[in-house]
Amino acid sequence: MWRGNKLRRGPCISALIKLKNACPWSRVAGLCGAIAPSHFRKLSLGENPVSAPSLQAATLLLDQRLSLEPITDLPLALRPQTEAEGYALQRVLNGLLGIAGMGRQAGHKIGCTTPVMQKFLGIPNPCAGVIFGNAVLHRAGRVPRSGFVRLGVECEIAVELARDLAPTHVPVDRESAGRAVGTVMASIELVDERYRDFRSLGVPTLIADDFFDSGCVLGDPVRDWRNLDLATLSGATYINGVEIGRGTGSLVMGHPFEALAWLANSRNKHGFDPLRAGDFVLLGSVVETKWLNAGDEVRVEIDGLGEVRLGVDP
C-alpha cells in the first residue's frame, strides 16, 4: 500500500512548523534536539550540525508538503543558489520527511536524463532525488488523487544494485556501473508538480525537494538482463488502454547505465554516501510526463522487462 501521503506532525515536526518563522532559528535546533534527539541527529551533515537557515528552509518546504499547498519561492536569504546548495538542503529535508513518516530512504530517482524530459522541463542536465520506502509499490497498486497537488507518471527503466557503487581512483563509467547491477525492472515513477511555478523556483530548490518525486511502482526483477540490449528496449505508457507515449532506453544519456554512473559520481561530488547494495535507482523517463485524474488506469510496458500498473482513486 502506498503511504506517501500519510505524513504525521509528531512533536518534533509540529514544533518546527510552529516556529518556522521564528527568530533566532539557532535556538530551534536545540529545541528539536531535546524533543527527539535520536531523530534529530540524523539531520547532521557529516560532522557538521545543520545550520539554522538550512533547517528553516527545509521546514518551510516540509510544511507545504504536509499541507499539499503548492510550493512557492523560499525567501531569498534561505534559497539555495547552486546545485550543491540544493543537494545539501535536500539532505536536511529528507531527514525531516523520514521523521514525519515517509520511512527509510529506499531508492533514488534521476530526472532530466533524456532529451524529451530536458525539453519538457527546460532543464539541460540530470538531477537526483530520494525515494522513500512508504511510497514504493510493487507490480501494481493504487494511489489517491487527493494525496497530490498534480499527479503525473513517467515510464522508466529501474535497476537494483547487487553491490555498492562509488568512484575509487577513477570516476564510475557505464561498464563499472553495469557490473554493480543485480536486476533490472520496468517501473512507473509517481511525480507531483507540487509547485506554484516550478520554472520560477529554480533548479536548486527543485533538487532540494527531490525533484518532483512522490514514489514509484517497481516491476518484477529481471535477473538475466544481460541477454537484453537495454539501449534498444522500447517502453510505452498507456492510460485507460490508449498508448500515449513511447521511447527507447537509448534516450537515457545514450544508455541507461550512463545515468547510473552519473548518479554514483554526483553523490560522491556532493558528499553523499555511496550507492549501496540493495538500493534501487529509477534512471529517467523515456516518455514525457503524463498527468492523471481520479479514475485513470495506467500501464507501463517495457520490452523484455514486463509491465507495471497504477490506478488512481479519488
Instruction: Tell me the pLDDT tens digit for each residue of 37-86.
Output: 444 444 544 445 677 788 889 989 998 988 899 999 999 999 999 999 99
Over residues 74-124, the pLDDT tens digits come to 999 999 999 999 999 999 999 888 888 888 999 999 999 999 899 988 999
- In whole angstroms, what is the distance from residue 202 CA to residue 204 CA? 6
- Residue 257 to residue 278: CA distance in whole angstroms: 17
- Asked, for residue 5, whether it belongs to a domain, the answer is no
Over the stretch 144-175, which tens digit does the pLDDT of each residue have?
A: 999 999 999 999 999 999 999 999 889 999 99
Q: Tell me the Ramachandran region of residue 104: left when phi exceeds 0, alpha when psi lies from -120 to 50, beta otherwise.
A: beta
In a domain, 309, yes or no: yes
- Whether residue 226 is contained in a domain is answered as yes
Angle at 215 between CA 186 and CA 162, to 5 degrees: 55
pTM of the predicted model, to two decimals? 0.90
Q: Which residue has the cell 523484455?
A: 304
Q: Which amino acid is at 166?
A: A
Please classify residue 123 by burial: count the beta carbons closer than 10 Å to its beta carbon, then call 0-12 exposed, 13-18 middle and 19+ buried: middle
Q: Is residue 22 part of a domain?
A: yes
Does residue 19 carry a pLDDT above 90?
no
Is 218 a residue whose pLDDT tops 50?
Answer: yes
The answer to whether residue 268 sits within a structural domain is yes
User: Per the domain annotation, does 2 fall within a domain?
Assistant: no
Does 156 reside within a domain? yes
Non-local (6+) Cβ contacts of 230 within 8 A are 157, 184, 249, 255, 256, 257
pLDDT, averaged across the chain: 89
Owning domain of residue 178:
11-313
Q: Is residue 213 part of a domain?
A: yes
Residue 296's CATH number: 3.90.850.10
Res. 28 pLDDT band, cuts 50 70 90: very low
Helix (H) or strand (E) holding 110: strand 105-111
**Mean pLDDT, rounded, for 28-32:** 45
Domain tally for the chain? 1
Q: Per residue in 259-297, pLDDT tens?
A: 999 999 999 999 999 999 999 999 999 999 999 999 999
Residue 61 phi, psi dihedral angles, 5° rounding: -65, -40
